[in-house]
Amino acid sequence: MSRLYLPAMAVASCLGMGKDATMGPLLAGSRRGLRHVDGFPVPLGALPEEIPPLPAALGRWECRNNRLLAVLAAEVADEIAQAIRRFGAHRIAVVIGTSTSGIAEGEAAFARHARTGEWPEGFDYRQQETGSGALFLADLLGLSGPAYVVATACSSGAKALASARRLIRAGLADAAIVGGADTLCRLTVTGFGALEALSPGPCNPFSANRAGITIGEGGGLFLLSPDPAKIELAGLGETSDAHHVSAPDPEGAGALAAMGAALADAGLSPAGIGYVNLHGTGTALNDSMEAKAVAALFPQGVPCSSTKAMTGHTLGAAGAVEAAFLWLMLSLRWNPDGRLPPHLWDGVADPLLPRLDLAGEGHRLSRPAALSNSFAFGGSNCCLAFRRGMP
């Protein structure tokens, strides 16, 4: 099968907007972005900057989620323009993962209507459509290839990469703009609150004292291309537990199978992996099953960390945001010393979990390949394998 590469990447989270702003805080283990936001009872990973509104000509797509996608696209505008010249606008797909889309705008509109009996000027119910992100980006970039959204909860951003790869390998596209974006809204915060899954403070993954997730917002966007580049999408693995609507298989069978499939797809062994970005939500069941799966696949240990302790859980964007972090870790330009993002927690190990080699100060990437885990409600699992490509 043809090899595919990731020549361009854009990222935004509460750590910063763009690669330059992200890299320092990520390697330093910064929690500066986790803060209290007006109207919410727990700290959240809110973006550190205002996002400019869309141009008037694209007003029908106006929502915070699409504005974030526009910011991400601007960061890799040159590479996208080159791809359009290389492949043609009709041969580039757009695949985006999300779970919130324009829900925040719908919440505000319904609140206004309940209060005044009138809808806000310019409100359109289509702002809330899950699929709007991909159609918006296609419109923004002038692309006419396949364009759609993947919405598999917390694995959406990772599964978007899997879907884009299938489109290219099936001959339906030559390249793809692919990733994910999710922005804060009350539905997700109150929903996870109703599940009693929110941590009262910053999340504490794999600790005996873990108390739930911290929700964040952010996005990651890639150009996926057959042209050799410095970072390769080497492999991926997808599985479905179908164990429970919200709880994972407690033994981590689906997670283990997804990681194993990603390694096999990439032609790698566990010994060839230098780092694993853990799904690591800080919930009791997720951390338990993931620890079992990682320990089973890497009995000799592998450096790993959950970056959600810095960014919060960006939900439908998490797979893309954390894949972006993997891209940065492997990049000799952005990370010449091979430093790893530290695992932030209180250091109180859960005696019921296998011990993992959680990255701290001094951990370095010892192999030119890494994994990123994304596990979702309903047992929708995805593991991505990245490695350094051309020198």
Q: Which residues are catalytic?
A: 154, 279, 313
3-state secondary structure at position 298: coil
3-state secondary structure 68-109: HHHHHHHHCHHHHHHHHHHHCHHHEEEEEECCCCCHHHHHHH
Q: Which two tokens stand for residue 390?
A: 């051309």
Residues near 356 by Cβ (< 8 Å), separated by ≥ 6? Answer: 206, 278, 291, 294, 295, 301, 304
Integer angstrom CA distances of residue 140 from 56, 152, 165, 271, 339: 12, 24, 22, 43, 36
Q: How far apart are CA 157 and CA 69, in angstroms?
A: 13
Q: How far apart are CA 133 and CA 181, in angstroms?
A: 8
The candidate with the shortest Cα–Cα distance to 203, out of 121, 333, 310, 298, is 310
Beta strands 16-17 and 4-13 are antiparallel
SS3 content of the chain, % helix, strand, coil (to 5): 40, 25, 40
Residues near 326 by Cβ (< 8 Å), separated by ≥ 6? Answer: 275, 277, 370, 371, 372, 384, 386
Q: How far apart are CA 133 and CA 178, in angstroms?
A: 11
Residue with tokens 């008037």: 56
As a residue count, the chain comes to: 391
Residue with tokens 């790993």: 304
Q: Which two tokens stand for residue 140?
A: 């923004």
Judge residue 201's burial from the number of C-beta atoms within 10 Å of its C-beta, 0-12 exposed, 13-18 middle, 19 or more buried.
exposed
3-state secondary structure at position 341: coil
